[in-house]
Each structure stands twice: as structure tokens, then as C-alpha cells.
Amino acid sequence: MRNLTGATIVALASSCVASSGYLKLDLHRRAPISNKLARRQNSDGSVDAVLSNNQELEYLVNITVGTPAQKLSVTLDTGSSDLWIPASSAPLCKKNQCDFGSFDPSKSSTYQVVEQDGFNITYAAPGDTDAGDWGSDTITIDGSSPIDSQQIGVASALFDQHGVMGVGFDTNEANNDGPGGVYQSVMDNLVSSKIIERKAFSLYLNDRDANSGSIILGGIDTTKYTGDLVALPLQPSDSGAVMEYYVSLTGVSFTDAAGKTTQISPDGYSQATLLDSGTTNTLLTNDVFTPLALGFGTTLDPQGSGNYILPCSVGNGNGTINYSFGGEGGVTIQVPVAAIVGGQAYTSDEYDDPAGGCALSMGTPMESGGFSILGDSFLRSAYAVFDLENQVAALAQADENQASTSNIVVIPTGTAIPSATNTATATGTQLTALESETAIPEASVSGSSLILAGTPTFNLGLSSSTATAGSGSGSSSSGAANYAAVPTAALLGLGVAAGLMGL
Ligand SMILES: *[C@@H]1O[C@H](CO)[C@@H](O)[C@H](O)[C@H]1NC(C)=O
Ligand SMILES: *[C@@H]1O[C@H](CO)[C@@H](O)[C@H](O)[C@H]1NC(C)=O
Ligand SMILES: *[C@@H]1O[C@H](CO)[C@@H](O)[C@H](O)[C@H]1NC(C)=O
Ligand SMILES: *[C@@H]1O[C@H](CO)[C@@H](O)[C@H](O)[C@H]1NC(C)=O
């Protein structure tokens, strides 16, 4: 999640190995809330566009807070920098909706108030604010040795159902302009508590079908990637300072099922793009997003939700989106087409594709308020190392499903990233203005109210039986549901607690 005031990963971590110099957290995916597209329903019954945060996957880590230790799970987030937890006094927790635990400061002998009502973090999704007190207490992260006096947000006014552990730069903490200023973040304290040697970590989300990924604080697992790990200088935020994980995206192309490559990005493309595990989708500038989305047969949801829908069958196709970073001497990460096909939004009775209509796991910076973001739909294909001390991120192609092997090297104090073979230098510029709407057409609807699928123009190698049924046919033997009459809540699998939608 990107914390707006200054700027999020969510699977379940099950075990950890505390060892000298690094801390490995195994991440397991939390089951999707629903296989339908999550949309926010307003009180008047209208539905807002899906925001990119956390709609499908959650990568959680177990922590303890206080003395005696109270257990909670929090979202691990590269896009923000604070550790905050729900207060058990929060109305949402009192209604038993804080499913990953809450914290009662009055039951901890080591808790201290730092600033009453001083904590307030706002993420990119509208209304996504969590607020309360700043406090400090002893914490442990997935069985680590204790970190004393860690500053934490204790939120009693909750939008999100569980807390967040941000692993970004301390200069990007919430409320830095308040009396407390910059405080020692969890990343800072992991080093000062000698749990890790350098303020750096690596991230391996693994593919969507695998149930486990990992984050290694202070270390790199050299078995989890192929090719070279290439170091990329982090790019400055709007403020001119490096305070988030922006890297320079210098080219995007599509290689089809027959191996033919089409350049998608314009010549000279160089875009500062945020590596953000807390965002589900990948948000690309219009000039790259539009030709890619149209190539996959994407249309706009005719229900006016603002969501991009594509034929679910695309997920069975072959081809990769190749993302190049750092220009000359840089690195290219290949993302298979299946990775950009999100949850099913419409069944095959409602949408003219044998597999139904799915959410596209891509979008534009309109969804983030103006930031180009490489979210989970990109990050699952990459192995990423983040070095806060030297302001570098190193990327390599993830070697998926290597969960059982392991060769962890400690990232020592110093500047070099162990096993990185190369350093790229190209810079990337920030977006200067929010771009206007894309040229993605609204899906048409046939007389029987069946939503007609868009037609992919990319060669995905799909045979005609698995390809889209073809827009324009307008008929379906299976008896199209009258989509206009389908109650929205049922269609979208709503009916879960409002707080869940809020993520
Ligand atoms: C957290 O702990 C619970 C109970 O101890 C365990 O079932 C769960 O798998 C753990 N989850 C993570 C994220 O480690
Ligand atoms: C938190 O900050 C936001 C944005 O400034 C504000 O709208 C909201 O009222 C604040 N919430 C609390 C509980 O202080
Ligand atoms: C792009 O991806 C294809 C695989 O789909 C691969 O063969 C090709 O080498 C990649 N291009 C680059 C520049 O890595
Ligand atoms: C995709 O590629 C695999 C491996 O080359 C091949 O077995 C499969 O038939 C291809 N599928 C399509 C839809 O082209």
C-alpha cells in the first residue's frame, strides 16, 4: 500500500529461522476472500472501482507485542514504513472483526505512550485511514529475539482489519512532520538489535499457485532466482530524496506464443516505478498500459465499476510481458500472461468466454493517485533485494517453486550486494501529472444482456476451442443470465464484513 502522507505485502508466514545475521519469514498466501472481484458497495447500492490494494492476496507475518507477549499477524508492506496494530478497544475489534489479533496496552507492563492521538496513516484507497496513539513496546518478529522500545501505532479508529509492518525507509514514516519526527523503524531496530547486519532484505513471493514465498530480513537466498541479480539505483520520490523503492523501468515488450516480440513502450521510455508488495495490481503509464490491455482483449466493465475485464481464457495462453530495468546493462523480468489474469468477475453465463470474465491485474496510475507501481502481479515473477543503506534494489528472474531448496547468504555491512553481478545506471523520471483516461472501450452487451468479450490481438497460442467465443456473436447456448438483474452483492460475493472490503 502506498502511504499518501509520505505511502503496502499480504500470505501467512508459518515459521522462521532466527540465525546469525538474518531473519527468514516464510510467507503463505491467505486464501482469497472470494474468487469474485472485490468491489466496494456504497450505501446507495452503487459500486466503486476496485482499488489495487490487497483484494486478492495477503502476505502476513506473526509478531508479538508487549510483556507478556500478545500475538498478532500483520501485513508485511514494502510501500510504507510504520508498524501499527489494532487496539483491542477499537469498535471493529470489539465486534470480533479483528481476525488477526489486537493489542491491549493496559495488559502490557512494558508499554509506554509516545503521543496520544498522534498516529494517523492514510493509504491510497479512499477512506483508508487508521489512527490512534503512538506508543512503544517490546516486539518480536516471528520468533526473533526481542526488540525493546519499538515505536508502534496503536490504532483505535480502524479502516483496515489488521495491522501493517512497513519495511520502507524511516524518512517515509507517517506523521514525520509531527512532534516526534523520524523515529527508529523496525528495519533500523533490527540492525541496532543485531538481529541483522545491514538494513536490507530480499523478497520472493513465488507464483500465485504456490502456497509459499519468503522474505529474508538481512539475507539473500541464491537458489530462488535464475540469471543475474542486477543492482539498480533507487530513484528519488517527488520530494527529490530517495525514500521509497522506485526503480527505473526502461522498456516493456510482449513476446507472444510464437516467440515474436513486440515493443510496447515508446523509445526512450524511462519511468520511475514503485516496487510495492502491498499493491496487488501493476499500474503502468497509459502509453504502455493501453496497448498491452487491448492486446489481451480488455474492456471496461459495462456495469460502470471502472474495472478492467478480460476473457479468463487468456490465463491459459502463452506469452510473456518483458519488463526491462536500468537501461544498458540492466535486467529483464519476464511475466507470464497468466500472472495478469486476476479473479473471476463474471461467469461464462454472464460473459462471452468459456472461462468467464476476469479482472485484469493491471491498471494505470489513476488507481493510485498518480504513481506507477509494480505490484504483486509483477513481483511474483521477480526476486527482489532491497538495500536501504545504499539506496539500491537488485532484481533477478524468480525461479518459481524452489521452495524446498535454500542457500542463504547474509548481507554484511558494506555496500556490495552479495552475488549481484552487475549495476545498471539509467535514471527514471516521476510522473508529473495524472494522465487522462485510457482508450479502453466499454464492453458491449448483447440483447440478452450477455457481456461480449473483447478480442485479444496478441497471439497467445490459444486454439479456437479455448479462445474467446468471439465478440459479436451475441448468442450463447448456455442461456445468458440477465446480468442487469443479477443482484450486485451476490454477483460480487459481498456480504462479508465491511472491514474486509476495506482492505
Ligand atoms: C501464526 O501463528 C499461528 C498460530 O500460532 C499459526 O497457525 C500461523 O500459521 C502463523 N502464521 C504466520 C503468518 O506465521
Ligand atoms: C486522519 O487524517 C485524515 C487526513 O488528514 C483525516 O481526514 C482524519 O480525520 C484523521 N483521522 C483521525 C481519527 O484523526
Ligand atoms: C522476453 O521473453 C521471452 C520469453 O517469452 C524471452 O525468450 C526473451 O529472451 C525475453 N527478452 C528479453 C530481452 O529478455
Ligand atoms: C504453451 O506452451 C507450452 C510449452 O511450450 C505448450 O505445451 C502448450 O501447448 C502451449 N499452450 C498454448 C495454448 O499455446
| Residue whose CA is at the smallest distance from ligand 1 atom 7 | 14
Rounded to the nearest angstrom, the distance between the alpha carbon of 15 and the centre of ligand 3 is 35
| Other CB atoms within 10 Å distance of the CB of residue 113 | 12
Partners of 16 in beta bridges: 25
Which spans in 317-356 are helix H? none
Please work out whether the CB of residue 129 comes within 6 Å of at least one atom of ligand 2.
yes
For 224-423, give the CATH class.
Answer: mainly beta
Q: Which residue's CA is the nearest one to ligand 4's atom 5? A: 318
CATH of 10-196, one of 3.30.390.30, 2.40.70.10, 2.60.120.10, 3.30.70.20: 2.40.70.10
Whether the CA torsion 332, 333, 334, 338 is positive or negative: it is: negative
**Ligand 1 midpoint to CA 371 (Å):** 33
The verdict on whether omega for the bond into residue 336 sits within 30 degrees of 0, i.e. cis, is no
Domain ranges of the chain: 10-196, 224-423
CB proximity list for 97: less than 8 A, separation 6 or greater:
161, 497, 499
Look at residue 344 and give its three-state secondary structure.
strand
Please answer whether residues 42 and 157 qualify as being in contact, where contact means their C-beta atoms are separated by less than 8 angstroms.
no
Indicate if ligand 1 lies below 6 Å from the C-beta of 60.
yes
> CB–CB of 363/372 below 8 Å?
no
pLDDT at 63: 95
CB atoms within 10 A of CB 150: 24
Ligand showing the shortest atom-to-Cα distance for residue 60: 1
Ligand nearest to the CA of 118: 2
CA distance 287 to 252: 11
pLDDT of residue 209: 65
Q: Which of 137, 170, 276, 387 is catalytic?
A: 276
How far out from the chain centre does Cα 50 lie? 14
Nearest CA to ligand 2 atom 12: 131
Query: How many Å lie between the centroid of ligand 1 and the Cα of residue 239?
Result: 39
DSSP 359-426: EESEE-GGGGTS--EE-HHHHTTEEEEEETTTTEEEEEEE-TT-TT---EEE--SSSPPTTEEEE---
**120 C-alpha to center of ligand 2: Å?**
6
pLDDT at 304: 83
7 lines ligand 1 (CB under 6 A): no
Within 6 A (CB) of ligand 3 lie 255, 320, 322, 332, 334
Residue 467, all three cell numbers? 479462445
Q: Per residue, what are the HEC states of 47-109?
A: EECCCCECCCCCCEEEEEECCCCEEEEEEEECCCCCEEEEECCCHHHHCCCCCCCCECHHHCC
82 is catalytic: no
What is the pLDDT at residue 240?
Answer: 87
Whose alpha carbon is nearest atom 13 of ligand 1? 13
Distance (Å, whole) CA 473 – CA 201 = 52
Residue given cell 509520505 in the structure block: 6
Are the folds of 10-196 and 224-423 the same?
yes
Task: Give the start-end residues of each E strand in 78-211.
Answer: 83-86, 112-122, 129-141, 147-157, 164-166, 200-204
pTM value surpassing 0.85: no
- In single-letter form, the type of residue at position 169 comes to F
d(CA 22, CA 87): 30
Residue with cell 540492466: 330
| Nearest one of 60, 22, 421 to 221, comparing CA atoms | 22
479 by DSSP, 3-state: which? coil
Measured CA to CA, the distance from residue 42 to residue 156 in angstroms comes to 23
> Which residues, other chains included, contact 307 with Cβ-Cβ below 8 Å and sequence gap of 6+?
37, 39, 49, 50, 300, 301, 345, 359, 360
14 within ligand 1 shell (Cβ under 6 A): yes
| Closest by CA position to 450, among listed 431, 464, 437, 469 | 469
* pLDDT given for residue 211 in this prediction: 63
Catalytic site residue from 77, 128, 133, 188: 77
- 397 phi, psi to nearest 5 deg: -70, 125
* 301 in active site: no
Does 397 contact ligand 1 (Cβ within 6 A)? no
Cα 467 to middle of ligand 4, angstroms: 13
Q: Grid coordinates standing for 448?
A: 440478452
Give the residue, by CA position, lying nearest to ligand 4 atom 10: 318
Q: Going residue by residue through the chain (503 aa), what tens digit of pLDDT does each one get?
A: 555 433 333 333 434 444 468 999 877 665 443 322 333 333 333 333 332 233 445 678 899 999 999 999 998 888 889 999 999 999 999 999 898 899 999 999 999 999 999 999 987 666 788 999 999 999 999 989 999 999 999 999 998 888 999 999 999 998 776 666 899 999 999 999 999 999 999 999 887 666 677 899 999 999 999 998 999 999 998 888 999 999 999 999 999 999 999 999 999 999 999 998 878 889 999 999 999 999 999 999 988 888 899 999 999 999 999 999 998 889 999 999 999 999 889 999 999 999 999 999 999 988 877 889 999 899 999 999 999 999 999 999 999 877 678 899 999 888 888 888 777 777 888 877 777 777 898 998 987 789 999 889 999 998 754 444 443 333 333 322 222 222 222 222 222 222 222 22
Tell me which residue of 250, 246, 273 sits closest to 324, measured CA to CA: 250
Task: Please give the Cα distance from 479 to 481 (Å, whole number).
Answer: 6
Query: What's the CA-to-centroid distance between 107 and ligand 1, angstroms?
Result: 22
* Per-residue model confidence (pLDDT) at position 303: 86
263 Cα: distance to centroid of ligand 3 (angstroms): 12
Q: Is the C-beta atom of 336 inside 6 A of ligand 4? A: no
Confidence at residue 58, expressed as pLDDT on a 0 to 100 scale: 63
Cβ proximity of 53 and 7 under 8 Å: no
